[in-house]
Structure 1
Amino acid sequence: MQNNVLILDFGSQYTQLIARRVRELNIYCEIHPYNHLPEDMSVFKAVILSGSPYSVRNEDAPHPDLSQIKGEKPTLAVCYGAQYLAHFNGGEVAPSDTREYGRANLTFIEEEEDFFKGIDKGSQVWMSHSDTIKKLPENGIKLASTNDVDYAAYKIKGESTYAIQFHPEVYHTKDGKKLLENFLVKIAGVPQTWTPDNFVEMTVESLKKQVGNDKVVLGLSGGVDSTVAAVLLNKAIGKQLYCIFVNNGLLRKYEFENVLHQYEGMGLNVKGVDASARFLKALKGIEDPEEKRKTIGRVFIEVFDDEAHKIEDVTWLAQGTIYPDVIESVSVKGPSATIKSHHNVGGLPDFMKLKVVEPLNMLFKDEVRRVGASMGIDPELLGRHPFPGPGLAIRILGDITEEKVRILQEVDHIFISGLKSSGLYDKVWQAGAILLPINSVGVMGDERTYEKCVALRAVESTDGMTADWVNLPYEFLQKTSNEIINRVKGVNRVVYDISSKPPATIEWE
């Protein structure tokens, strides 16, 4: 793939956001750790150096090899990158005299520069650093200032090297996208050819070459990623693709039948396998959340392996791994400790002797949806909320029984159906119900009850990394609560979760 932009990651919390902003400009980019440069640098037309939690003045500060970058390719250094270029090229970086965190406004701009074309003085930017540049590097030319930061932006004379001490990738920097466009398009001359249609065309051709006449097996989940991966592979290799949709007994009410029906209408070669009893038997008596995840993962692989062996001469396993999974597994500090045990990235058990094909592993979630739309996948399927891999098992706190699954499926069905009929579903990023391991006293008619309590959860988010609870209308919550208590035998109390992430997580387990 040509005309790439390379983003060197120094461990900033915003690095993925830089990539998303670049992709929004229809420009393809890749993130690589600063200490693992790609072998072939010739395919990159421009480089962006990310921010970092480190100080350039520390002994353990990240030191990249910029010999093939600075002065060789158009380079944009952001925050840590800007300070690194100054500190190690004749400039001076020192602790900030004033707090340089949060919103600021540009009080000076070098208006003749293409870098600031279409951006006015006074434009709001976002600062996030404890060090500041006191003296520019050799051949440095000041391009912008704020009230507190004299060298908010600079360039190196005789090079296409630009540096900024603010973050153009965050929403608080009002003209950040314009700044990135000025650098990448006007200065670096990177073509804006990264579109969903272009991706589909390139990927289909690539899959034909990669897979050839081999057979591929793919585990469908009903979710967006595996569905888009299946349709892409189907375009490339047709009936050589064998899809398996496993019912683990922990799906939403009617989900197994509904999703199978949807897939059949898409021309996919799909086999539905109802392994509910096998999963519930394996989960009997297990209460620990991580143990539940591992058990479900193990049984899924066993069921999937059994089914895959029924297909002769399968060579490949297809997965719906997406780019954030890949980035996390090769991060600056090594694999993240937060990757859960059922995660796509991490390889296959030794007994599954299959090669892996991952057609979506360079896409962000929003790009996956756009690619799906360009291939004509039903908007209802593309708009589905994320659903946890272990299903309702991690929304039932404590041990799993068939009765608890029945109760939660009924509650969840009322909640999700209500969101859809009220026009609220698409305004929520993820929603679900949690069955709590407590009973509470209630009164139904003239009788005292001692039954289950359920919590409803609805959050808004862009990527699941952070999330805020949704302020659902009181009338909707009142109607939903009444319907659950009146219709679901075994539940007499409904509560609504108003916790944000952080400090809480989206799921309860």
Structure 2
Amino acid sequence: MADTAGAAGSGTDTVLVVDFGAQYAQLIARRVREARVYSEIVPSTMPVAEMLARRPRAVILSGGPASVYAEEAPGIDAALFEAGVPVLGLCYGFQLMAQALGGTVDNTGAREYGATSLSVVRPSSTLFEGTPTEQQVWMSHGDACSAAPSGFTVTAATATVPVAAFENDERRLYGVQYHPEVLHSTFGQQVMEHFLYRGAGIEPSWTTGSIVEEQVAAIRAQIGEGRAICGLSGGVDSAVAAALVNRAIGDRLTCVYVDHGLMREGETEQVEKDFVAATGVRLRVVDASERFLTALAGVSDPEQKRKIIGREFIRVFEQAQAELVAEAGAAGEDVSFLVQGTLYPDVVESGGGTGTANIKSHHNVGGLPEDLEFELVEPLRRLFKDEVRMVGQELGLPEEIVHRQPFPGPGLGIRIVGEVTRERLDLLRQADAIVREELTAAGLDREIWQCPVVLLADVRSVGVQGDGRTYGHPVVLRPVTSEDAMTADWSRLPYDLLARISTRITNEVRDVNRVTLDITSKPPGTIEWE
């Protein structure tokens, strides 16, 4: 989904999510889409007049880390609440609404973080009808609303917050102090849907088919009669992006698969066979392994590795572009567009969200060179992984591609902690292949989100193998479950499976004498180690 209002202009009912620097702004938008209503995120700095010019059916004000009393706290023009557009305020957005409309927000010091019991005092209200009078919600606030604005009905409270939700049906204005968008708020999705369907009167009609139609139209508008190349990595993201662009412009798209020498065992062969058979796209395979390994020689810093990989990808694409133009001859059009399978989590972690921190520079976002000459085409930039899979199914891609476990564009280069060398890559490929074989044999491919295998190349540990002392590398198993890669929990794999994996790796992979298990959630850890 684009950052523009293009889809809204086509007649789609649109909900704008106003981002006040919230950790969960995109999750709010995702929950709206799960309710089959189209949503877009806009920054809190956007003037209200510009928001209203998009003719939204409703507006949701996100949470945020600031206090409404902080000197430089983001605000909202109270004209929004007089425009007749339904508004739902969440957490910080709830407090802004209360303050702007004459309610009272106090910095009481009575903070609530995490799971909290909510008491619904008006069970028949628009937001809470059909939900329990006592329910668990997820709180994250210091300030609290102590008095609702005039004309509003208090509909929920907690032990420390007298106004945890309020409603004004006549003005179609609603607010809750907690985060209904997170799974820990047990009836949060129902509350969100009640606002959309009952409060705003929106019909749930947006589907993955809508995404395909909107993106195909947007791609055609952007590329026109031009030609594009797509950086195909073998993962589901680039495959779906390529399939979308292929549907939009046909044989004016050429996919370029760069074998950077950082792929897993059998990856290149699988891409050549499966993807071309499924889509019929023109595919060009470039063996650039020597180029990438030379550029990565002596580099251990993960940010530097990502930027090098991003830069070298672009250089290879530029070379492919020149070759395609030369082949087309004087009558051929220039190839000026580069298709990427960038997802929203890539953008957020690279510092691309409103008020978000740069966690790590993804090779296809923060790792791109400054002298980039391509115009990027990124049809998945506002989607989560599970939404991308649904789009892939809508496009008719085979299960082997659509439900493939995520694999990062920089490949095994960011699963080696330390310098990337050919020898270390070979070790990691062997260990990774064993883990994938065992997970498949156990029938767990669809049960876990992914299972990165990490080689701690700069760490050695003493072991004993064949009655002799060894001094080998440890590998780390990182099995996780997730919905969207924004948060994740470690997968509780069966002990006998872990035992088989450990035995096989230490027996079959030379120079690896220890297998460890990463049991860290995200946050605080990321899914990949680098």
The answer to whether structure 1 residue 32 and structure 2 residue 54 are counterparts is no
Q: Residue 392 of structure 1: CA displacement? A: 1.3
Q: Residue 252 of structure 1: CA displacement? A: 0.3
Q: Give 1:164-179 correspondences, 5 Å limit.
A: 164-179=176-191
Maintained 8 Å contact 1:57/1:93: no
Q: TM-score of the superposition, structure 1-length normalised?
A: 0.92
Instruction: Specify the code of the residue in structure 2 equivalent to 1:277.
Output: E
- 2:402 corresponds in structure 1 to 382
The answer to whether structure 1 residue 286 and structure 2 residue 299 are counterparts is yes
- 1:51 corresponds in structure 2 to 63
- 1:230 corresponds in structure 2 to 242
Compared CA separation, residues 455 and 144, structure 1 to 2 (3 A): closer
Q: Hey, what's the Cα distance between the residues in 2 that align with 1:126 and 1:495?
A: 33
Q: Residue 439 of structure 1: CA displacement? A: 3.6
Q: Hey, what's the Cα distance between the residues in 2 that align with 1:216 and 1:169?
A: 37
Deviation string 1:41-73 (CA, Å, 9 cap, x unpaired) is 343110111122222222222112242444421
Q: Hey, what's the Cα distance between the residues in 2 that align with 1:406 and 1:108?
A: 59
- 1:414 corresponds in structure 2 to 434
Moved more, 434-443 or 361-370: 434-443
Q: Hey, what's the Cα distance between the residues in 1 that align with 2:229 and 2:514?
A: 44
- 2:5 corresponds in structure 1 to none
- 2:33 corresponds in structure 1 to 23
Query: SS state of the match for residue 69, structure 2?
Result: coil
Identify the match of residue 342 of structure 2 among 321, 342, 352. Answer: 321
Q: Residue 325 of structure 1: CA displacement? A: 4.3
Deviation string 1:404-462 (CA, Å, 9 cap, x unpaired) is 11111111111111111111222222212222223444444344444333222222233
Q: Residue 147 of structure 1: CA displacement? A: 3.9
The answer to whether structure 1 residue 161 and structure 2 residue 173 are counterparts is yes
Q: Hey, what's the Cα distance between the residues in 1 that align with 2:55 and 2:162?
A: 35
Query: SS state of the match for residue 357, structure 2?
Result: coil
- 2:149 corresponds in structure 1 to 137
What's the C-alpha RMSD, in Å, of the aligned pairs? 2.4
Instruction: Specify the code of the residue in structure 2 equivalent to 1:331.
Output: G
The answer to whether structure 1 residue 404 and structure 2 residue 434 are counterparts is no
Q: Hey, what's the Cα distance between the residues in 1 that align with 2:146 and 2:234?
A: 55
Q: Hey, what's the Cα distance between the residues in 2 that align with 1:175 and 1:450?
A: 53
Instruction: Specify the code of the residue in structure 1 equivalent to 2:404.
Output: R
Q: Residue 271 of structure 1: CA displacement? A: 0.9
Q: Percent identity?
A: 45
Compared CA separation, residues 151 and 40, structure 1 to 2 (3 A): closer
Moved more, 221-230 or 373-382: 373-382
Query: SS state of the match for residue 265, structure 1?
Result: helix
Q: Give 1:187-336 correspondences, 5 Å limit.
A: 187-266=199-278, 267-312=280-325, 313-326=334-347, 329-333=351-355, 336=357
- 2:411 corresponds in structure 1 to 391
Compared CA separation, residues 356 and 249, structure 1 to 2 (3 A): same
Q: Hey, what's the Cα distance between the residues in 1 that align with 2:474 and 2:434?
A: 15
The answer to whether structure 1 residue 367 and structure 2 residue 387 are counterparts is yes
The answer to whether structure 1 residue 119 and structure 2 residue 131 are counterparts is yes
Instruction: Specify the code of the residue in structure 2 equivalent to 1:292.
Output: K
Q: TM-score of the superposition, structure 2-length normalised?
A: 0.89
The answer to whether structure 1 residue 505 and structure 2 residue 526 are counterparts is yes
Q: Residue 305 of structure 1: CA displacement? A: 1.1
Maintained 8 Å contact 1:321/1:345: no
Moved more, 431-440 or 178-187: 431-440
Query: SS state of the match for residue 510, structure 2?
Result: coil
Q: Hey, what's the Cα distance between the residues in 2 that align with 1:502 and 1:165?
A: 23
Maintained 8 Å contact 2:154/2:166: yes
Equivalent pairs, count: 507
Compared CA separation, residues 75 and 446, structure 1 to 2 (3 A): closer
Moved more, 131-140 or 437-446: 437-446
Maintained 8 Å contact 2:275/2:401: no
Q: Hey, what's the Cα distance between the residues in 2 that align with 1:308 and 1:236?
A: 20
Instruction: Specify the code of the residue in structure 2 equivalent to 1:494.
Output: V
Deviation string 1:80-119 (CA, Å, 9 cap, x unpaired) is 2222222233222113474433444443433443333322
Maintained 8 Å contact 1:263/1:270: no
Instruction: Specify the code of the residue in structure 2 equivalent to 1:438.
Output: V
Q: Hey, what's the Cα distance between the residues in 1 that align with 2:421 and 2:109?
A: 61
Instruction: Specify the code of the residue in structure 2 equivalent to 1:60.
Output: E
Q: Hey, what's the Cα distance between the residues in 1 that align with 2:81 and 2:282?
A: 47
Maintained 8 Å contact 1:205/1:236: yes
Query: SS state of the match for residue 180, structure 2?
Result: coil
- 2:466 corresponds in structure 1 to 445
Q: Give 1:21-100 correspondences, 5 Å limit.
A: 21-37=31-47, 38=50, 41-96=53-108, 98-100=110-112
Query: SS state of the match for residue 392, structure 1?
Result: helix
Query: SS state of the match for residue 452, structure 2?
Result: strand
The answer to whether structure 1 residue 356 and structure 2 residue 376 are counterparts is yes
Structure ranking higher in strand proportion: 1
Q: Hey, what's the Cα distance between the residues in 2 that align with 1:89 and 1:353?
A: 49
Q: Hey, what's the Cα distance between the residues in 2 that align with 1:498 and 1:81?
A: 34
Maintained 8 Å contact 1:9/1:49: yes
Maintained 8 Å contact 2:361/2:367: no
Q: Hey, what's the Cα distance between the residues in 2 that align with 1:43 and 1:83?
A: 24
Q: Hey, what's the Cα distance between the residues in 1 that align with 2:419 and 2:271?
A: 27
Q: Residue 196 of structure 1: CA displacement? A: 0.7
Deviation string 1:265-303 (CA, Å, 9 cap, x unpaired) is 121211111111221222222233233222222222222
- 1:425 corresponds in structure 2 to 445
- 1:475 corresponds in structure 2 to 496
Query: SS state of the match for residue 123, structure 1?
Result: strand
Instruction: Specify the code of the residue in structure 2 equivalent to 1:214.
Output: G
Query: SS state of the match for residue 186, structure 1?
Result: helix
Q: Residue 31 of structure 1: CA displacement? A: 1.2
Q: Hey, what's the Cα distance between the residues in 2 that align with 1:392 and 1:289?
A: 12
Identify the match of residue 9 of structure 1 among 19, 23, 47. Answer: 19
Maintained 8 Å contact 1:71/1:160: no
Q: Hey, what's the Cα distance between the residues in 1 that align with 2:473 and 2:345?
A: 37
